[in-house]
Structures are given as structure tokens and as C-alpha cells.
A and B are shown apart, each in its own frame.
Chain A
Amino acid sequence: MSTGSLKAEAGIAGGDSAAGLPIAAAATVSRARTVWASWRGLVYQLAGIILAGLALLVWLLTADLSAIELRTLAPAALWVYTLEHLQLTLLAAVIVLVIAIPLGIALTRKPLRFLTAPVLAIANIGQAAPAVGVVVLLALWVGFSFWAATLSLVLYAVLPVLRNTMIGLDQVDARLVEAGRGMGMSATAVLFRVELPLAVPVMLSGVRTALVLLVGTAALATFINGGGLGILITTGVNLSLTTVLVTGALLVALLALLIDWVGRVVEHVARPKGL
């Protein structure tokens, strides 16, 4: 009787240790699987963008283009428009970051905390302003130029970054801040070592939203001589050049998707581990 139960126990123990290895192996496999799962969407998105870009290229190469279309869609010209577009977008983005992040931090500090809610409310209303209206208004005020375009882009994209910076900092568990202060970290140390790292995901998604908005809005810069890919759309419409119109629209869309992709990759990599 007792030896029987002993054997049974030994059997169970043996089974356990034998199962140990496969479990470990399964763990690495499943880890690889989760890594792939977390990157899969991004890989598909990039593949889709590249495929769409290639399709556009093939279509342009095989289409029967008129002389004026060929001139407008010359690779050099397209390259210049794209660079202008990126320049507008990135310049505006940098200015937005420089303004919105410190402002967002300042508005969530104690002395200015009371402003958080009103500023968020105003930001929400501002979001409803039509982008094209903001662009045109700014141009009428500053003059039709690259700088007017940049300024209106900044105005338009400051809101999501500011919003998400404030929300990101606001949603950090107050008890963690208190734990930090409680163990003797200064307010600045808590900001940089606890609050900002924990706000990074929300802030980055605000930055990505802003970048995508910027790419789209930069297409409107053409209305005020600000440059960019939008000129293909307006030229296409004005001169009834469908190929140019479609190329312009697709390039803007692909650029937006590409920027979105870059933003997602950055978010993915920069998200603090452990969240």
C-alpha cells in the first residue's frame, strides 16, 4: 500500500521534471509568437504602403500620359514636392513639440493646475476648426508663403500634442507620484523619472496623431503657395488632369501612412517595458 503510493508520487515527480523542458521551450516559442503578434500589424502596414507605392509607380509607367502630365509628374518634380511636403511637416512638428510639451508639463504642475480643464476644453473646441480655414486665415494675415503655411500647421497640430501631454501626465497614478515624493525624490526627479516615462505612450500617440494631421494639412498649403504635394491635386483639378490629381492624392495618403507607420514603430520601441 505505502510503497504503491510512493511510486505514484515518484511517477508524478518524474512527470513534472520531464514536462519542465517542454514548458520552457513552449515559453520561448510563445514569447516569439507574442513578439511577432506585436509587430505583425506594423509589418503588414509597411508591406501595404510599399505595395501601393509600387502599384502607383507601375500605373504611372504604363499609363498613356500627355506632355503636360509628363512634365508635372517628372520624377525630379515629384521629389521636390515630396521634400517640400516633408519639410513643412517636420518643421511644424519640431516647433509643435518645442511648444506643446513644455506647455503641457507646465499646465499640469501645481501652480497652473487649475488651467488644465479650461485649456483642454478650449483645445477640444479648437479641434473642430476646419483646417483649411485656419490655413487660409493665417495666410490672409501673414501673407501667402511657406511661413504662413508652417505657422498654420503649428497652430493646428499643437492641440493634439498639448492635449495628450496633459492627459498623459494627468493619468499617471497619483499614488506613484506620492510614493516618489515619499521616498525623497524632488518634484523634478519625480517628473523626469516617474511621470514623463509613464506618460510617454499617451504623449507619443499624440505626437503621431499630430504628424498625420500635419501631413494631411500640409496638402492644403498649396492654396497659399506654401508648397508640398497638394499642388498636384489643385493642378489636377484646375487643369482636369486626372492622372496628376490621383497621383497627388495617393502620394499624400501614402506619405501619411508612412509617417503613421514610423510613429507607430517609435511608439512600439519607446514604450517603457513593464507597462
Chain B
Amino acid sequence: MWDFLGDRYEQILFSGWQHFSLVVQCLILATVIAVIIASLVYRSKGLTSVVNSVSAIGLTIPAFALIGLLIAPLGFGVTPAVIVVAFFAALPILRNAVVGLSGIAPSIVESARGIGMSRFRTLLQVELPMAWPIILTGVRVSAQMVMGIAAVAAYSLGPGLGGFIFSGLSRSGGANSLESVLTGVIGVIVLALILDLLLVGLGRLTIPRGIRV
């Protein structure tokens, strides 16, 4: 095992970094998209429930099936991996953003409007900051989930640690197959822990002290 790690630490670090950056970029993209969608729909009960069912149903679709579906039109490569990871990342965030935004007491919004804030400004300066802790929780849930999904996404020859799992699988019985798979699995878990810690740190920095629990 140590030999395996020693021989390939550069490749491992590189794949790990790729994996991490794929996930982080997709998370950022997903957060932006989810927050925008949530901001558009949260005022309407009907749209909110539509969005909630979409995210619930989206989460039941197996990642592997979605990759298969995307390989068909897009071929192998980074694109299907990014789409799959971003898609699944967006769902929990979307759900939490809607819950967070619609959970804000109407009186607070009213008082913001009352002192002359525009609707957009209210959203930006009052509602989103107040919903941010819940949104960030959604981001953490997404991050955990998407780390594993990014590994499956390697099936489309996308980047990241999933490659170690699939290469171990294809060389099963051969030398270093177990080491390769273990590297992939443990690497993903470690990355997930690191990212979670970073997100907790982000929460400390970005959640106003007044609404921190």
C-alpha cells in the first residue's frame, strides 16, 4: 500500500486536486443557479411546491443512470461529469434555499420595504443573508453527496479520484488493484471531510453573528 502511494503520490495528488476542484466548481455553479431559481419562485406557493417536487424526484434518479443518459448525446469526457455533479449538487441547495427564503417572517420583509428598500435590495440585503445559514447547510449536504457522485462520474472518463476505482476494477486480481481502489475510496472520504471543514469555516466567516446558532 505504502509503495503504491509512494510511487504515485504525484498522480494521486493531481487526481485529488482535480476531484476537489471539480466538486468545488460545480458546487459554486450549483449554488448560484439554485439561489437564483429559489429567489424567483419562493414567493409563489405553486412554484415552490413544483420546485420541491423536482428536487425530490431529481434526487431519486441514480447518478449512474444519469451519467449513462448523458454519455449518449455528449460522449465521454468532462462535460457529462460536470453536468451530473452540478445537477445533483443543485438539488439540496435549491430545496434549502426555498425553505430558507420562504421561512423568513413577513414582518421583517415588510419592515425592510417600509424603510424604502426596493424589492431586489430587500432580497439581497435582508432575505438572502437571513436564509444563508440554511442555504449553507444545503451546500454541505450537497458537498458530501457530490464527492461520491464525482467518483462515479469518472465512468465517463471524467477527472478525479474515481479513476483509481475504475482502474482498480479493470485490473482486478492483478497487481495493486486493491490499493488503487482503496486510494480512490479513502481519498474521496478525506476530501469530503476537508471540504466539510472548509464549509463550516465559511459559515463562521459569512454568517452574521446575530443569527448564528
Binds B, one of A73-81, A102-110, A132-140: A132-140
Residues on the B chain within 8 Å of A216, using CB: 61-65
Whether the pair B165, A219 counts as a contact (CB closer than 8 A) is: no
Whether the pair B65, A250 counts as a contact (CB closer than 8 A) is: yes
Where chain A touches its partner, the secondary structure class is helix
Q: How far is the CA of A132 from the CA of B62 in the complex (A)?
A: 12
Residues on the B chain within 8 Å of A252, using CB: 62, 64-65, 68
Whether the pair A233, B65 counts as a contact (CB closer than 8 A) is: yes
B159 CB within 8 Å of chain A: no
Q: Which of A218-254 contact B (CB under 8 A)?
A: 219-220, 223-224, 230, 233, 236-237, 242, 245-246, 248-250, 252-253
Binding site for B on A (CB under 8 A): 41, 44-45, 48, 124-125, 127-134, 136-137, 139-140, 144, 212, 215-217, 219-220, 223-224, 230, 233, 236-237, 242, 245-246, 248-250, 252-253, 256-257, 260
Q: Which of B191-211 contact A (CB under 8 A)?
A: 192-193
B162 CB within 8 Å of chain A: yes
**Chain B interface extent, by class:** 35 or more
B151 CB within 8 Å of chain A: yes
B72 CB within 8 Å of chain A: yes
Whether the pair A125, B148 counts as a contact (CB closer than 8 A) is: no
Closest 4 CB pairs of A and B: A216-B62, A128-B192, A130-B151, A249-B68
Residues on the A chain within 8 Å of B147, using CB: 128, 130
Residues on the A chain within 8 Å of B60, using CB: 212, 253, 256-257, 260
* Known A128-B144, A256-B60, A257-B61; contact A248-B165, beta-carbon cutoff 8 A: no
Closest-CB distance, A21 to chain B (whole angstroms)? 31
B99 CB within 8 Å of chain A: no
Residues on the A chain within 8 Å of B51, using CB: none
Whether the pair B57, A257 counts as a contact (CB closer than 8 A) is: yes
Q: Which of B156-175 contact A (CB under 8 A)?
A: 162, 165-166, 168-169, 172
- 22 A–B contacts from the bound complex (CB under 8 Å): A44-B53, A128-B148, A128-B192, A130-B151, A130-B184, A132-B148, A133-B188, A137-B182, A212-B60, A230-B64, A236-B68, A237-B71, A237-B155, A242-B72, A245-B71, A249-B67, A249-B72, A252-B64, A252-B68, A253-B61, A256-B60, A256-B62
Q: How far is the CA of A256 from the CA of B60 in the complex (A)?
A: 6
* Known A125-B189, A131-B152, A223-B169; contact A136-B181, beta-carbon cutoff 8 A: yes
Closest-CB distance, B194 to chain A (whole angstroms)? 11
Residues on the B chain within 8 Å of A245, using CB: 68-69, 71-72
Whether the pair B64, A219 counts as a contact (CB closer than 8 A) is: yes
Q: Which of B59, B72, B188 meets A129, CB within 8 Å?
A: B188
Residues on the B chain within 8 Å of A233, using CB: 64-65, 68
Closest-CB distance, A157 to chain B (whole angstroms)? 13
Q: How far is the CA of A233 from the CA of B71 in the complex (A)?
A: 10
* Known A144-B172, A237-B71, A245-B71; contact A130-B185, beta-carbon cutoff 8 A: yes
Closest-CB distance, A245 to chain B (whole angstroms)? 5
B78 CB within 8 Å of chain A: no
Whether the pair A219, B151 counts as a contact (CB closer than 8 A) is: no
Q: How far is the CA of A129 from the CA of B166 in the complex (A)?
A: 15
B178 CB within 8 Å of chain A: yes
Whether the pair A253, B62 counts as a contact (CB closer than 8 A) is: yes
Q: How far is the CA of A224 from the CA of B149 in the complex (A)?
A: 18
Q: How far is the CA of A25 from the CA of B211 in the complex (A)?
A: 46
Chain A CB within 10 Å, residue with most, of B60, B71, B178, B192: B60
B137 CB within 8 Å of chain A: no
